[in-house]
Amino acid sequence: MSQTFSRIDQLAQFVGQTVTVRGWVSHLRSSGKVAFIVMRDGSATPLQCVLVKKQMPEEDWARFAALTLESSLAVTGEVRADDRAPGGYELGASALAIIGASPLDYPIQPKEHGIDFLLDNRHLWLRSPRQVAIARVRHEVEQAIHDFFYERGFLHVDTPILTASQGERSGLFSTEYFDEGMAYLAQTGQLYGEAAAAAFGRIYTFGPTFRAEKSKTRRHLTEFWMIEPEMAWYDQAMNQDLQEEFVCYLVERCLTRRAAELKELERDISKLETVKAPFPRIPYTEAVEILQKKGSNITWGDDLGAEDEALLVADYDRPVFVCNYPKEAKAFYMKENPDDPRTVLCADLLAHEGYGEMIGGSQREDDHDKLVARIQHEGLPMEAYGWYLDLRKYGTFVHSGFGLGLERTVAWICGVQHIRECIAFPRMMHRVRP
């Protein structure tokens, strides 16, 4: 069965030969004696099939009239190179078979639809060229992430989704766990990643994380994917060097291998071509001064809001690190900054063009007693952190890590405003179907 069928992305090797392609109707037009079927099969840019009445059996030609949007079909014909064709090739059809007809009420028509309607029909919306392009960029980013770490000797570790409570955190989804009480869906794999770094040296996690927060911004999902590398013997400077190298690698990979998709998305790639190391590194305290001069009401100690972030990156053509935030604004596990103990050794990486925070990272507190004091100060339950404290008790080690939000990164590379389009089936406050 397979031998006689070809995918659109393989047609380059069949120029001048007759092949059969299967897929779905994206677009139809006809001028009486010549008809055109634009056909998609998910592998590449849709293919234009050209039907000439007098060059086909009468019954095959007659089938064209019955075709509807999203009908599945098989078209046999000669592969022709044609620079005017979207993918560089077209098919001169000699036979047409309808496999599965599609009624005329196919929900997604070539017109404007509301976002709720599109999300209700996400299983069909995924077939649209823009959604296919985003999905293909997402996959490229994912494979690039795995390749980047594999090439550098990092071990991939899958940290648990179901976890016993690690304190009074808010925004947790919970479920009954047999006779063990409640379990919670992980908001991060980091603490487990630190244990793994002590075992395997350099590791990264790649998994879904959850936030049961009632936020409805274009940068939030309740279920999203995070990549969290953790490195033994890396201080915060090395951590930021790695992040720079990592982000440049992902961008370069998409520019090289997903140019067609970025074009489909009308992405201004000149904004990506400038993404080169080194990225500016602005200490938080300096960032506050810059923002105040630019008119922001921020005062020292506040976290940066989305508007502050946009204001700060406006002058740059690449992502920007904001370093060493106030201790009180950040998580308990970040290492105190020896040069200014009001602050911690951390950095957020803000995408330029106003896409906001893409990475948060820090050096971890490796002093057992200082970490105990931080846990007490924050009012967290010490007993939940026994195993985490063990990492400082038995052979403590300098280590650092970061978390990259996958959908935010894909949104930025694609130039998409809302991250809900950057995952196949987005989960938001009012959205758990389909």
Identify residues 264-303 at the interface with a copy of itself (CB under 8 A).
none
Residues recorded for the chain? 434
User: Count of CB atoms within 10 A of residue 237's CB?
Assistant: 14
Among 95, 237, 310, 380, the residue binding a copy of itself under the rule CB under 8 A is 237
27 binds a copy of itself (CB under 8 A): no
341 binds a copy of itself (CB under 8 A): no
Nearer to a copy of itself, 45 or 296 (CB): 45
Cβ contact 406:426 at 8 Å: no
Nearer to a copy of itself, 10 or 285 (CB): 10
Closest approach of a copy of itself to the CB of residue 65, in Å: 17
Of the candidate spans 206-214, 243-251, 270-278, 326-334, the one that interacts with a copy of itself by CB under 8 A turns out to be 206-214
Cβ contact 385:375 at 8 Å: yes
Rounded distance between C-alpha atoms, residue 7 and residue 130, angstroms: 20
Of the candidate spans 110-118, 188-196, 311-319, 412-420, the one that interacts with a copy of itself by CB under 8 A turns out to be 188-196
Which of 109, 427, 232 minimizes the C-alpha distance to 118? 109
101 binds a copy of itself (CB under 8 A): yes
Cα–Cα distance list, 361 to 121, 303, 313, 325 (Å): 37, 15, 18, 11
Nearer to a copy of itself, 207 or 354 (CB): 207
Among 32, 100, 341, 379, the residue binding a copy of itself under the rule CB under 8 A is 100
Ranges within 116-145 binding a copy of itself (CB under 8 A): 121, 123-124, 126-127, 131-132, 135-136, 138-139, 142-143
CA atoms within 13 A on the CB side of 287: 29
Ranges within 211-230 binding a copy of itself (CB under 8 A): 212, 214, 222-223, 225
Rounded distance between C-alpha atoms, residue 219 and residue 239, angstroms: 25
Sign of CA dihedral 225, 188, 227, 319: positive
Of the candidate spans 76-84, 208-216, 299-307, 413-421, the one that interacts with a copy of itself by CB under 8 A turns out to be 208-216
Nearer to a copy of itself, 136 or 364 (CB): 136
85 binds a copy of itself (CB under 8 A): no
432 binds a copy of itself (CB under 8 A): yes
Which of 12, 82, 24, 3 minimizes the C-alpha distance to 50? 82
Among 48, 159, 343, 362, the residue binding a copy of itself under the rule CB under 8 A is 159
Cβ contact 399:196 at 8 Å: no
Nearer to a copy of itself, 129 or 415 (CB): 129
Ranges within 393-412 binding a copy of itself (CB under 8 A): 393-398
Ranges within 65-84 binding a copy of itself (CB under 8 A): 70-72
Of the candidate spans 22-30, 52-60, 298-306, 412-420, the one that interacts with a copy of itself by CB under 8 A turns out to be 22-30
Nearer to a copy of itself, 227 or 312 (CB): 227
DSSP symbols for 243-271: HHHHHHHHHHHHHHH-HHHHHHTT--THH
Cβ contact 322:304 at 8 Å: yes
Of the candidate spans 153-161, 285-293, 303-311, 314-322, the one that interacts with a copy of itself by CB under 8 A turns out to be 153-161
How many residues in the shown chain lie near a copy of itself by CB under 8 A? 101
Q: What is the DSSP letter of 278?
A: P
Which of 425, 413, 36, 49 minimizes the C-alpha distance to 225? 425
Among 27, 130, 281, 427, the residue binding a copy of itself under the rule CB under 8 A is 427
Can you read off the two tokens belonging to residue 69?
Answer: 């949007």
Phi, psi torsion values for 129, nearest 5 degrees:
-55, -40
252 binds a copy of itself (CB under 8 A): no
196 binds a copy of itself (CB under 8 A): yes
Query: Strand, coil or helix: what is 367?
Result: coil
Among 28, 161, 260, 269, the residue binding a copy of itself under the rule CB under 8 A is 161
Nearer to a copy of itself, 52 or 432 (CB): 432
Closest approach of a copy of itself to the CB of residue 82, in Å: 22
210 binds a copy of itself (CB under 8 A): yes
Beta strand pairing call for 89-100 and 34-40 = unpaired
Task: Compute the CA torsion angle 385, 390, 391, 394 (nearest 10 deg).
Answer: 170
Sign of CA dihedral 137, 139, 141, 144: negative
9 binds a copy of itself (CB under 8 A): yes
249 binds a copy of itself (CB under 8 A): no
Burial category of 179 from C-beta neighbours within 10 Å (exposed 0-12, middle 13-18, buried 19 and up): exposed
30 binds a copy of itself (CB under 8 A): no
User: Count of CB atoms within 10 A of residue 247's CB?
Assistant: 23
